[in-house]
Copies of this chain bind each other. A is one copy, B any other.
Amino acid sequence: MISQTEENYLKALFILANENGETGVNELSKFLGIKMPTVTSMMKSLADKNLVRYITYKPVILTVTGKKEAASIIRKHRLTEMYLVEKMGFGWDEVHEIAEQVEHVKSNALFDKMDEALDFPKFDPHGAPIPDKNGKIDFPDQRKLSECKVGETIQLSGVIHSSDVFLKFLNSKNLKLGTILTVQLIEAFDGTRELSYDERTAEILSEIACEKLLVQNLKHI
């Protein structure tokens, strides 16, 4: 049995993994808000359970089993968020904390029912891909809005690390997933962007905000 605490570590490792699938103890510690010695000892115990590969002073890597477990929890989290938004009338800024708890419920049936009721969604309300039952994730062709050039027209398709403060800010600008944007201007001095979308012709967004927004090219018919 994997405890709720362990599940949160596995999920974090999955999310933080770099290109090599590695995560430093310090990074993990900061992300979870748990002190490094606690993380170190948890890594030892996860290694004993064959969920991570861990050598002292080296970054941590999820095993195949660990990766599968992590993906399963992320799947539950994202299905829950989608269900709360689509079927229960929550806003996208209200669901993360609830999903953080519901993701630990031991019941495949519950999440299968959500999946079915939602007609097997591929993305959560923040545009993050939902892993399938085998833990496979279908990453869409996204880049950051901050990487787009002046004149480009793209579609908002995701938000990174969606804090409710940021999501409420997007609400106030009427920015939603699916919104089609054109980059009108990039301020050379501080990277501030001027964007047009809907009826808005010159909405201003800081570079920091643009780094948290994911976009895709428009789909042609």
Contact = CB atoms under 8 A, between A and B. Distances in A.
Interface of A: 84, 87-90, 94, 97-98, 101-102, 104-107, 109-110, 113-114, 117
A107 B89 CA distance: 15
Given A87-B87, A88-B110, A98-B110, 15 more contacts: A84-B110, A88-B113, A88-B114, A89-B113, A90-B109, A90-B113, A97-B107, A98-B105, A98-B107, A98-B109, A101-B105, A101-B106, A101-B107, A102-B102, A102-B105
Main secondary structure of the interface of A (DSSP, over half): helix
A215 B104 CA distance: 37
Task: Choose among A89, A110, A113, A114 the residue with the greatest number of B CB atoms under 10 Å from its CB.
Answer: A110
A107 B90 CA distance: 12
A3 B104 CA distance: 15
Nearest to A106: B101
A107 B84 CA distance: 12
Task: Choose among A88, A89, A97 the residue with the greatest number of B CB atoms under 10 Å from its CB.
Answer: A88
Nearest to A98: B107
A55 to B, nearest CB: 35
Contacts of A88: 110, 113-114, 117
Contacts of A107: 97-98, 101
A88 B113 CA distance: 7
A71 B160 CA distance: 39
A97 B105 CA distance: 10
Nearest to A116: B89
Contact of A109 (B94, B105, B106): B94
21 contacts: A84-B110, A87-B87, A88-B110, A88-B113, A88-B114, A88-B117, A89-B113, A90-B109, A90-B113, A94-B109, A97-B107, A98-B105, A98-B107, A98-B109, A98-B110, A101-B104, A101-B105, A101-B106, A101-B107, A102-B102, A102-B105
